[in-house]
Each structure stands twice: as structure tokens, then as C-alpha cells.
Amino acid sequence: MERLDDVDNLPTLPHIFTLLMGMIESDGSSAADLARIISSDQSLTARVLKFANSPLFRGRDRIENVAKAVVRLGFDEVKAIALTAMVYDGLFRQSPGAYFNRAQFWKHSALVAHATSELVTQFSMHAFTPVAFVAGLLHDIGIVVLDRFFPDRFSSLIRRIDGRRELLEQAEEAGEYPPHASIGAYLLHRWLLPQTVWQAVCGHHSCRDGRLSCTPLAGVILLADLVVRRCKIPFYVSEPMPDSMKHAKIVLAALQKTQAGSRGFSMEEFARSFAACVPVHLEKLRELVG
Ligand SMILES: [Fe+2]
Ligand SMILES: [Fe+2]
């Protein structure tokens, strides 16, 4: 991590993202607060209006201001659009993405965001509701940092995954590569994202063996990740398909000890219903970021 301290041009996110996160964290934020923050940024306003008037949502009348877009699309949908657009513009538009498949990475991240959000609701983990989407969206962000700032180390990691057919986090551990989860958490900490978010990102692989030493949200992100992998969305590096049911069972058993809402959960059933929504999520993503 000391080497990251020396990188003085780590990616940054626009000020509007910080404002949105502040609003999301504070209890009692309203649709009017959300509309006010979005309206203060011209390009974000244009994105939200374009989305609200897209064939996916078009109502009878054309929407011409953000407040009406929030009414048409709903608070959560607009919040998700705004966060996704900010992260995409800030990190992906200019990133060369030399050693991983950027398009697949982006789909993976967005789908994990939706699945994390749905699981947190299903498990009644209300304390995490406001940050679940953004934590899922940014859970693998360390990959972008590795690719952009440490391309030699990262390309050697990718060669190892290719050659030995290892899972990404296994290759990191066995080859003593810096873990993408910790690097991502470091970046999010620097961005002043809430502790609940960077802690969960930091632990999203260390709970695979049932050690939920980190935070329950880390376990939920890993479950969401496994659900998305079960939907057969191609992964962004060439690691083999993990045994998602085996890993999910271990994480779920650990979660169920402390999160009453997760008891009685059926991974198969959730994965089936999530898979049915994947085409809609991907269509919305295409509409938003092209
Ligand atoms: Fe990961
Ligand atoms: Fe992931």
C-alpha cells in the first residue's frame, strides 16, 4: 500500500459524487434533495433526462426537469443512474483497460451492484440499504488501479491465472500479489467513502472461507458476485468458473449466524429470479453509458 501513497494521480471522482454520497448517508434525504444535487451538474442532468426519456421509460409526456424524472423513475432508480454515470465517467471512459476486458468488468460491477442491493433488502439488513448499491458497484475497483498504475505486476498476475487456471484471489494470495480488494478499499478510503463501504470492499474475498471477520456486507457482496457469475455473464479476466454453490453455502452459513433475515434464503431461487432481470439491467446500462 505504501507504493499507492506514491501514486499522485490516482483516479478521482467529481465533487458531485461526494455530494450524492453525503445525501445518501444522511437519513431523511428526499426526492427534492436528490433532484437539487443532480440539477446542479449540467452533464449529469442531461444524462438523467436522456435516460428518463429513453424508450425504456417513455411515458406520454417528455420529461424536462430532474424533479419530474425522479417522479417517473423513482428515487432509487435515479440514485443508481447518477452514481453509475459518475463512476463510469470518472474511471472508465479514459481508462485503457489493457489487461482485462473493460466492457465485461463494467457489466459485472453493475450487476453485482443490483444483486447486492436486492440481497440487502431481502435479508432486511436495513443499516446497509443506503450504501449497498455503491459498495457492489465499486467492489472490484482495485482491478482498475492495478491495471492502470501497476501494469507489469497486473499482467504477470493475468498470465498466472491463464496458465494455472486459478481464481483471481487465489492467484493473488499464492503469488503474493497485492489483493485487488485491499487496493480498492484503499482508494475508496482516500475518496472519503463511508467506512461501511470500504470495509465491505476490503473483505469481499476474505469471507469466502466463512470468516466473516470483516462485515456482513462483505459476505453479501460475495454472494451477489456468485449470483452474477451463475448467470453466465462472461468474466473480465479468464479465471475458471468458481464453484458458486459451494462458496455461497459457506458464506451464507456465516451470514445466517448474525443476520436473521438471511435464514431460509434459497440461493437457487434468488439466482433464477435475478437471471430473469439481467437483460433489463443490461439494457438500462447500455442506455446509460452506451
Ligand atoms: Fe473481487
Ligand atoms: Fe467481483
Span from the CA of 108 to the centroid of ligand 2 (angstroms):
7
Pair 131, 198: CB distance under 8 Å = no
Q: Relative to the alpha carbon of 229, which ligand is closest?
A: 2
Span from the CA of 138 to the centroid of ligand 1 (angstroms):
10
Residue 6: pLDDT above 70? no
Residue 248: pLDDT above 80? yes
Specify the residue for cell string 489493457: 98
CA distance linking residue 202 with residue 138, whole number of Å: 11
Residue 178 is predicted with a pLDDT of 86
Span from the CA of 88 to the centroid of ligand 1 (angstroms):
18
Residue 156: pLDDT above 70? yes
Span from the CA of 137 to the centroid of ligand 2 (angstroms):
9
Q: Which of 26-35, 43-52, 218-227 has the lowest mean pLDDT?
A: 26-35
Number of domains in the chain: 1
pLDDT band per the 50, 70, 90 thresholds, residue 174: confident
Residue 86: pLDDT above 80? yes
Average predicted confidence (pLDDT) for the chain: 87
Residue 2 is predicted with a pLDDT of 59
Residue 235: pLDDT above 70? yes
CA nearest to 225, candidates 215, 216, 235:
235
Q: Quick one: average pLDDT of 68-95? A: 84
Span from the CA of 136 to the centroid of ligand 1 (angstroms):
10
Q: Residues for the chain: how many in total?
A: 290
Considering only residues 284 and 206, tell me which one the structure prediction assigns the higher pLDDT.
Answer: 284
Q: How far is CA 122 from the centre of its chain?
A: 18
Span from the CA of 99 to the centroid of ligand 1 (angstroms):
16
Highest mean pLDDT among 13-22, 213-222, 263-272: 263-272
Considering only residues 223 and 254, tell me which one the structure prediction assigns the higher pLDDT.
Answer: 223
CA distance linking residue 117 with residue 22, whole number of Å: 18
Residue 166: pLDDT above 80? yes
Range of the domain at 122: 2-289
Can you give the CATH number for the domain in which 42 is found? 1.10.3210.10
Span from the CA of 208 to the centroid of ligand 2 (angstroms):
12
Span from the CA of 40 to the centroid of ligand 1 (angstroms):
34
Residue 190 is predicted with a pLDDT of 87
Residue 162: pLDDT above 80? yes
Residue 8 is predicted with a pLDDT of 66
CA nearest to 108, candidates 25, 156, 168:
168
pLDDT band per the 50, 70, 90 thresholds, residue 97: low
Residue 12 is predicted with a pLDDT of 78
